């Protein structure tokens, strides 16, 4: 095949890669987008954000239905058609994947399907179905993302031991499911399977689930999960796994005590690893940081001046929206503009039930760094809207700089927290004060009022709570 | 239109107005000099880019002006309508001119207060959070290269808004303007000097006269202090027997005169030095302390110290190693003449990689020159004189040239320096006649 000459080549068509390719094309650059998977969209669309949220929404209806009986509306026994659920989820992915492809084609972005391999700082070889395709480029953006980590001790080649990628396919609803790792992926997928009927046991090596999330925000999730799951076992390690007929024998250890248990399936959700194996980075000047992610500067440029890296592959918070923001920065930097990653906050959302969302400084972080803060809280039990939704299990809190009353961080636990957090993001990015939020009129009755009331409680004047000024 | 101070040369950002050559209302032609400006080492005239009538002079003699600053305003010829309307409405015209001319009007009321406000502020949050400002404001600041921690926010919680950014830029401009005005009035700090309280009252012992240091004198003074206080310097003395060289010079001088060049001893030294630098490139290098690197230059541009009425000036003879003795001789002559007349271009004073200081025409024996940083060595030449020299056990009268190589010991060691100096001496003592001969 004739080598292609392209001004920019983007390797990986996830939310970082395709955003970068589109933005560069919109600004008049000639762009080639390389993707291994026939459906564009990366992990986010194919094996992450989108399928997990589809399943979480579908299963949330089941829980709602059950809770509905107590409110006087009984819907009878629900019937679950896994195949139909899978097909519905798949149709969403297909629709979105096609959408990205159309957007790429309309912009004149050249799509090259196959595994990319750097031959040097300005040449990429792509193993396409038709043979080797060389691409000579001026600048490259690496956006190859990450994949679920599978410790070699668990990697028995047994399909009953799954990562999130396989679990999202819902091959079956196992009777007993072990989730190894109580992070957000384990908790979200545990919620899906438990609702579908599995007995879910979550094992977490650390003393709490959702490590890093403030304890008061994690508490409503823990409480709900304790009801929904069979068990959440903390401070517990998995020593070994072995195939036991059609099941998996799992040896766990708490303190010095070991015990064997039998599960139908195991979900391993212990973190994610960057996807640059076989990318040919050794032929470039790209180097890795001490956590084995690709090292890059505030302009997303790696140690190879022709190569930029965005998204999961460069570490930090492995979140699609961070990759998308970095895509813009990398392209602007290529245009020689003074762009830099200077966003103060990257919001994070855990789509458990209830959800947890936060942005900016957390209470935990402030404590670790010894930063002096004031915390203003509002419990959802006092929110009219939360009660009408039958979801009083929520909490909204603001992390405030004492001297200036500036909002440094926002944390929300409760139904729809993921949608509510954006007001917090705007407040922190804009340098808003607690007064700014307290004096902005929020519509009634909504859950967003909890942000206003939390701000009011900072001054000891929340309407629906008896609060003293924040200590 | 306003005529602004154009870019003069690399690294030259400002100069002092020495002489204003035009008056308000005067008709001037394109390229006519409008003022003389003294920069680090030269006085140059600023030509008008257009023909027209001078409507306003924005600067005064003695004022320091920066590149891009408005010097005078003229009504461009042919723009008769504009000129007429300016005449019929002088107030409006004047307003426009002054507005354009002074984007940063000097605020003379309370300069101290201005300084306190803008320079002292530094945002420092205990949480490590950046200064509170909307992403749109941060983007503007980034594009303008403004450090937001320096900007005082006026909104609740110290939030920075566009007005704060505007006010900050305004203050910066005013401060810059005041600093320049102050610099034009007060002498520049030339390094270590007695504290104001310790100033000696020389008049106690007799009448004295005080004279302002000219900018050139100040520059020389600064450079010398800098060189003396930063470079660990060693002086290497030696002599060259130039009896044969002088014979060559005597033999060929008339031919050079016909070729409109003066065959001077300096020309021979330049040639010999250029050759020696090729063999010992370290003497032609500079030190990059920040990078811990020695910068070797693939060119040999020789600076020649010239004594002028205003003081020491060092024009540079470029690519000396690639030029014939005739070319060097004629170029040297031109360079020195232009330097003495203060007509030398700024570019001709820059880029030297080694310097020669020849005091021989005035007199004196060995002396220890100061290195012209960032160069690493300088050759000082005294007056050649007949001296008794022992040759093959017999005393003979020879013409002996006293030499001193001063070098930066950070870059050159003693052995390097002696070898390099011996190479120069060898070049002078056995100067090939073929190179002197004119075809």
Convert the pLDDT of each residue in B240-264 to its tens digit: 999 999 999 999 998 888 877 889 9
- CA–CA separation, B130 vs B125, rounded Å? 7
Is there a contact between A431 and B143 if contact means CB atoms under 8 Å apart? no
User: What residues pair up with A231 in beta bridges, in sequence order?
Assistant: A201
The pair of structure tokens assigned to B121 is 């502020």
The CA-to-CA distance between both ends of chain A, in Å, stands at 70
The Cα of A229 is separated from the nearest Cα of chain B by a number of Å equal to 38
- CA within 13 Å, CB half, A97: 19
At residue B117, does pLDDT exceed 50?
Answer: no
- Cα separation, A66 vs A55, in Å, equals 17
Q: Are the C-beta atoms of A198 and A175 separated by less than 8 Å?
A: yes
Nearest CA of chain A to the CA of B434: how many Å? 52
Q: Are strands B27-28 and B70-76 parallel, antiparallel or unpaired?
A: unpaired
Q: In this model, does residue B88 exceed pLDDT 50? A: no
Least confident window among A64-68, A352-356, B88-92, B150-154: B88-92
pLDDT tier at B73, thresholds 50, 70, 90: confident
Question: Of the candidates A135, A266, A108, which has an alpha carbon nearest to the alpha carbon of residue A190?
Answer: A266
Cβ–Cβ pairs < 8 A, chains A and B: 62
Assess whether B409 carries a catalytic annotation: yes
Minimum distance, in Å, between the CA of residue A337 and any CA atom of chain B: 8
Nearest in space to B298 (alpha carbons), one of B276, B316, B318, B278: B278
Whole-angstrom Cα distance, residue B68 to residue B58? 13
pLDDT at B83: 40
For an interface test with A, give the residue of B126, B140, B141, B148 to mutate (most A CBs within 10 A): B126
| Token digits of residue B293 | 């690197």
End-to-end CA distance of chain B: 55
Residues B319, B328: Cα–Cα separation, whole Å: 10
pLDDT exceeds cutoff 70 at B9: no
Structure letter (DSSP) for residue A29? -
pLDDT for residue B315:
93
Kindly provide the residue ranges of all beta strands, DSSP E only, lying in A351-436, ordered along the sequence.
355-360, 374-379, 395-400, 407-414
Q: Which residues of B touch A425 (CB under 8 A)?
A: none
Alpha-carbon distance values, B49 to A46, A218, B58, B216 (Å): 65, 72, 17, 27
- Using an 8 Å Cβ cutoff, are A292 and A309 in contact? no
Q: Of how many residues is chain A composed? A: 471
Question: Minimum mean pLDDT among A194-208, B207-221, B300-314: which range?
Answer: B207-221
Measure the CA–CA gap between A21 and A288, rounded to whole angstroms.
Answer: 24
Q: How confident is the model at residue A72 (pLDDT cuts 50, 70, 90)?
A: very high
Dist. CA A31–CA A139, nearest whole Å: 10
Instruction: Give, in degrees to the nearest 5, the angle at Cα A440 between A438 and A445.
Output: 90
In sequence order, which residues have a C-beta less than 8 Å from that of residue B26 and are 6 or more positions away?
A: B53, B54
Which residue in this structure is represented by tokens 């605020």?
B107
Average pLDDT, chain B: 81
Q: Give the residue, B111 or A57, on which the prediction is more confident.
A: A57
What is the distance between the alpha carbons of residues B433 and B250, in angstroms, rounded to a whole number?
12
Q: Is the pLDDT of residue B186 over 70?
A: no
Catalytic positions of A, please?
444
3-state helix, strand, coil in chain A (%, to 5): 35, 25, 40
Q: Are strands B311-313 and B306-308 parallel, antiparallel or unpaired?
A: antiparallel
- CA–CA gap between residue B412 and residue B379 (Å, rounded): 14
B140 touches chain A (CB under 8 A): no
| Strand duo A307-309 + A131-142: pairing | parallel
* Of A275-284, B78-87, B351-360, minimum mean pLDDT range: B78-87
Q: Measured between CA atoms, how close is A400 to chain B, in angstroms? A: 10
Q: Give me the half-sphere count of Cα atoms (radius 13 Å) on the Cβ side of residue A242.
A: 8
C-alpha count within 13 angstroms, C-beta hemisphere, residue B222: 13
Q: Which residues contact B126 (CB under 8 A, 6 or more apart)?
A: A371, A372, A401
Say whether pLDDT at B79 is over 90: no
Q: pLDDT at position B93, please?
A: 37
- Average pLDDT, integer, range A249-258: 94
* Residue B128 touches chain A, beta carbons under 8 Å: yes
Name the E strands within A303-383: 307-309, 348-350, 355-360, 374-379
pLDDT higher than threshold 90 for residue B189: no
pLDDT at B110: 38
Stretch 313-342 of chain A: residues touching chain B, C-beta under 8 Å: 337-340, 342
> Taking Cα atoms as reference points, which of A145, A149, A147 lies closest to residue A270?
A149
> Taking CB atoms and an 8 Å cutoff, what residues of chain B touch A373?
127
Q: How far is the C-alpha of B339 from the C-alpha of B357, rounded, in Å? A: 15
Q: Tell which of A371, A374, A431 to mutate to test the B interface (max B CBs under 10 Å).
A: A431
pLDDT at B3 (0 to 100): 85
State the Cα–Cα distance between residues B30 and B328, nearest whole angstrom. 35
Q: Are B148 and B132 in contact, with CB atoms under 8 Å apart?
A: no
Q: The tokens of A372 are what?
A: 């002096």
> What chain B residue is nearest to A362 in terms of C-alpha separation?
B127
Confirm or reject contact between B130 and chain A (CB < 8 A).
yes
Best of B157, B161, B162 to mutate (most A CBs within 10 Å, chain A): B157
The mean pLDDT value for A110-123 works out to 96
Q: What phi and psi values does residue A2 have, to the nearest 5 degrees?
A: -65, 135
Residue-level pLDDT at B345 = 80
Q: Strands B377-381 and B354-358: what pairing?
A: parallel
Name every chain A residue with its beta carbon within 8 A of the beta carbon of B156.
Answer: 405, 433, 435-436
Contact A338 B143 (CB under 8 A): yes
Question: pLDDT at residue B288 above 90?
Answer: no
Which residues, 6 or more positions from A464, have their beta carbon under 8 angstroms from its beta carbon?
Answer: A382, A383, A384, A453
Distance of alpha carbon A425 from the chain centroid: 16
Q: Of residues B125 and A166, which shows the higher confidence score? A: A166
pLDDT given for residue A366 in this prediction: 94
Q: Looking at residues A274-293, what average pLDDT do you find?
A: 93
pLDDT at B120 (0 to 100): 61
Range from A15-29, B5-19, B131-145 carrying the lowest mean pLDDT: B5-19
Q: What is the mean pLDDT of residues A407-416?
A: 97
**Percent of residues, chain B, with pLDDT higher than 70:** 83
Do B34 and B3 meet the contact criterion of CB atoms below 8 Å apart? Answer: yes
Establish if A159 touches chain B: CB-CB under 8 angstroms. no
Beta-ladder partners of A374: A400
Q: Report whether pLDDT(B418) > 70.
A: yes
Question: Closest by alpha carbon to A34, among A279, A344, A305?
Answer: A279
């Amino acid at each position: 095949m004739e080598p292609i000459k392209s001004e920019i080549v983007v390797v990986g068509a996830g939310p970082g890669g395709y955003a970068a390719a589109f933005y560069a094309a919109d600004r008049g650059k000639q762009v080639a987008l390389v993707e291994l998977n026939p459906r564009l969209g990366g992990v986010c669309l194919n094996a992450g954000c989108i399928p997990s949220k589809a399943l979480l929404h579908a299963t949330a209806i089941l829980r709602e239905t059950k809770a509905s009986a107590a409110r006087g509306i009984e819907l009878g026994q629900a019937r679950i058609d896994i195949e139909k659920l899978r097909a519905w989820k798949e149709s969403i992915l297909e629709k979105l994947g096609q959408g990205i492809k159309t957007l790429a084609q309309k912009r004149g972005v050249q799509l090259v399907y196959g595994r990319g391999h750097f031959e040097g700082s300005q040449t990429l070889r792509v193993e396409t179905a038709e043979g080797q395709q060389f691409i000579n480029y001026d600048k490259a953006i690496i956006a190859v993302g990450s994949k679920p980590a599978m410790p070699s001790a668990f990697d028995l080649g047994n399909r009953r031991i799954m990562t999130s990628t396989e679990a999202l396919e819902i091959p079956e609803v196992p009777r007993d499911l072990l989730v190894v790792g109580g992070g957000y992926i384990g908790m979200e997928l545990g919620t899906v399977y438990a609702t579908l009927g599995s007995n879910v046991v979550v094992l977490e090596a650390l003393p709490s689930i959702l490590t890093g999330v403030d304890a008061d925000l994690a508490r409503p999730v823990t409480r709900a999960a304790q009801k929904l799951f069979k068990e959440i076992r903390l401070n517990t390690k998995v020593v070994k796994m072995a195939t036991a007929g059609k099941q998996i024998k799992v040896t766990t250890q708490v303190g010095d005590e070991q015990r064997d248990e039998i599960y139908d399936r195991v979900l391993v959700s212990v973190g994610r690893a960057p996807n640059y194996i076989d990318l040919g980075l050794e032929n470039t000047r790209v180097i890795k940081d001490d956590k084995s992610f690709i090292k890059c500067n505030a302009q997303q440029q790696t140690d190879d001046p022709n190569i930029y890296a965005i998204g999961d592959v460069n570490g930090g918070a492995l979140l699609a929206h961070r990759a998308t923001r970095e895509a813009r920065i990398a392209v602007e930097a290529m245009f020689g503009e003074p762009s830099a990653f200077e966003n103060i906050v990257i919001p994070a959302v855990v789509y458990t039930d209830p959800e947890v969302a936060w942005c900016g400084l957390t209470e935990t972080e402030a404590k670790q760094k010894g930063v002096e803060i004031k915390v203003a809280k509002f419990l959802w039990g006092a929110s009219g809207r939360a009660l009408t939704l039958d979801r009083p299990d929520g909490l909204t809190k603001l992390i405030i700089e004492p001297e200036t009353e500036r909002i440094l961080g926002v944390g929300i636990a409760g139904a729809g927290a993921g949608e509510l957090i954006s007001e917090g993001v705007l407040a922190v990015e804009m340098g808003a004060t607690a007064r700014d939020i307290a004096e902005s009129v929020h519509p009634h009755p909504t859950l967003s009022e909890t942000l206003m009331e939390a701000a009011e409680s900072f001054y000891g004047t929340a309407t629906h709570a008896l609060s003293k000024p924040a200590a | 239109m306003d005529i602004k101070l154009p870019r003069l040369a690399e690294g030259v950002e400002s100069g002092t107005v020495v002489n204003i050559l035009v008056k308000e209302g005067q008709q001037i032609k394109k390229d006519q000099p409008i003022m003389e400006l003294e920069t680090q080492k030269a006085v140059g005239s600023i030509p008008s880019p257009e023909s027209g009538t001078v409507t306003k002079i924005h600067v005064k003699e003695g004022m320091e002006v920066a590149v891009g600053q408005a010097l005078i305003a003229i009504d461009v010829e042919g723009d008769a309508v504009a000129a007429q309307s300016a005449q019929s409405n002088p107030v409006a015209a004047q307003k426009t001119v002054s507005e354009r001319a002074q984007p940063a009007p000097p605020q003379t009321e309370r300069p101290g207060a201005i300084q306190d406000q803008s320079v002292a502020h530094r945002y420092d949050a205990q949480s490590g959070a950046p200064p509170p400002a909307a992403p749109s404001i941060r983007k503007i600041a980034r594009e303008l290269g403004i450090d937001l921690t320096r900007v005082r926010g006026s909104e609740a919680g110290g939030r920075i808004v566009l007005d704060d950014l505007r006010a900050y830029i305004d203050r910066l401009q005013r401060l810059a303007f005041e600093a320049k005005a102050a610099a034009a009035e007060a002498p520049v700090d030339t390094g270590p000097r007695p504290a104001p309280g310790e100033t000696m009252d020389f008049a106690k012992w007799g009448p004295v006269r005080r004279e302002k240091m000219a900018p050139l004198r100040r520059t020389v003074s600064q450079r010398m202090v800098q060189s003396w206080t930063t470079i660990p310097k060693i002086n290497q003395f030696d002599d060259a027997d130039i009896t044969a060289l002088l014979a060559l010079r005597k033999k060929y001088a008339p031919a050079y005169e016909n070729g409109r060049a003066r065959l001077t001893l300096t020309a021979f030294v330049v040639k010999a030095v250029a050759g020696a630098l090729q063999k010992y490139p370290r003497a032609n290098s500079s030190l990059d302390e920040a990078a811990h690197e020695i910068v070797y230059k693939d060119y040999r541009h020789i600076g020649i110290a010239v004594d002028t009425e205003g003081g020491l000036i060092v024009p540079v003879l470029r690519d000396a190693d690639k030029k014939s003795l005739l070319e060097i001789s004629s170029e040297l002559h031109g360079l020195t003449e232009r330097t003495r007349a203060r007509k030398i271009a700024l570019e001709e004073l820059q880029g030297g990689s080694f310097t020669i200081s020849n005091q021989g025409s005035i007199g004196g024996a060995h002396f220890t020159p100061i290195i012209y940083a960032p160069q690493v060595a300088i050759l000082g030449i005294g007056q050649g004189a007949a001296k008794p020299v022992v040759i093959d056990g017999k005393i003979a009268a020879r013409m002996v040239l006293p030499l001193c190589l001063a070098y930066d010991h950070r870059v050159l060691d003693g052995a390097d320096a002696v070898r390099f100096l011996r190479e120069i001496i060898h070049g002078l003592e056995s100067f090939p006649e073929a190179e002197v001969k004119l075809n």
